[in-house]
Each structure stands twice: as C-alpha cells, then as structure tokens.
Amino acid sequence: MYQEKLNKFENIENLAGKSWEHAVAIDVLNNTTIKDCSIHCFHYQQMLELLFKHLLETKSKFGAYSKTHKLQKLLEEVIANTLFKTDISKYFMALQVITVCAEEYRYNFLIDCEGYKQSVKICDELLDELLDFEYIGQHKDCS
C-alpha cells in the first residue's frame, strides 16, 4: 500500500527515494506476524520525515530543512515555507505520537500499538495530502 502510494519515487537517489524505501519496508512488515509494532513505527516515522524534508528541499524558497526528527515541527516548516496548507491541529497529536514511538523504538521500549495504529490512520490522510501537493506541483502546467 505505501510502496504504491510513493511509487513515483521508486529508486530515486534523493530524500523522496529514501522515503519510498521505508514505504517498502512498511509493506514487508505488514505481511509478517511480528506483534511488536515499534519497527513499523520507526519506518513510518522515517517515511514521513524524509517526505517532509523532500518537500522542503524541492518546494521551499530556500531549498533547506532543519535537522529535527520531530514530525510535527517538520509539518510546521512545510506549511510555513511552501504553498502547502492543511489543518495542523488535525494532525499535530498523531505526528507527536509517531515521533515518540519511533524514539522509543531506538531505546528498545515497547510501545502502545493501538495508540500508534490510531495515529497512523490519521497520518495516512496527511500522507495523501502531501502526495497530492507533490503531484499538483509537478503538473500545475497541465490543466
């Protein structure tokens, strides 16, 4: 599912290509019987982080992004520095949950999988918005 959503970036050697690689990992993990969802969270967080940074690199005035791994901060940067607009309050907590879960994965803590899965459902909507923004920006002259 995620690999298909990000297929535009398949094997591209940039941040978006790295985002696609994490999407592939998520899809592989979705087909396993692993109960601990923390590794899934790590790849989901990386997929979003790299997509945010790709958008900042390619669509912002300065072509730059911060070094933060906090997804809610990166969304704020994308909104402030590009033409992308969304209701940040809809996604803020879900992005924060995913960021914290990914940090806990790095330290080998077990995470609340149900809370994480609820956050993914919310962030999947944001992912679709971001990909639409990326697509529209590439094809704005086609209408």
CATH of the domain at 94: 1.20.120
| pLDDT band of 98, cuts 50, 70, 90 | very high
Tell me the mean pLDDT in the region 110-128.
93
The Cα–Cα gap between 17 and 37 comes to 23
Stretch 20-44: mean pLDDT, rounded?
A: 94
Q: What is the percent of the chain where pLDDT is above 90? A: 78
Q: What is the mean pLDDT of the chain?
A: 91
Number of domains in the chain: 1
User: Is pLDDT of 141 > 80?
Assistant: no
Q: Is the pLDDT of residue 135 over 50?
A: yes
Q: Cα dihedral angle (27, 32, 37, 41), rounded to 10 degrees?
A: -20
Is residue 48 within 8 A of residue 77, CB to CB? The reply is no
pLDDT at 139: 42
**Domain of 15, in residue numbers:** 2-142
| Confidence category of residue 109, pLDDT binned at 50, 70, 90 | confident
pLDDT band at 138; cut points 50, 70, 90: low
Name the residue with higher pLDDT: 139 or 137. Answer: 137
| DSSP-derived secondary structure for 56-118 | HHHHSSS----S---HHHHHHHHHHHSS----HHHHHHHHHHHHHHHHHHHTT----HHHHHH
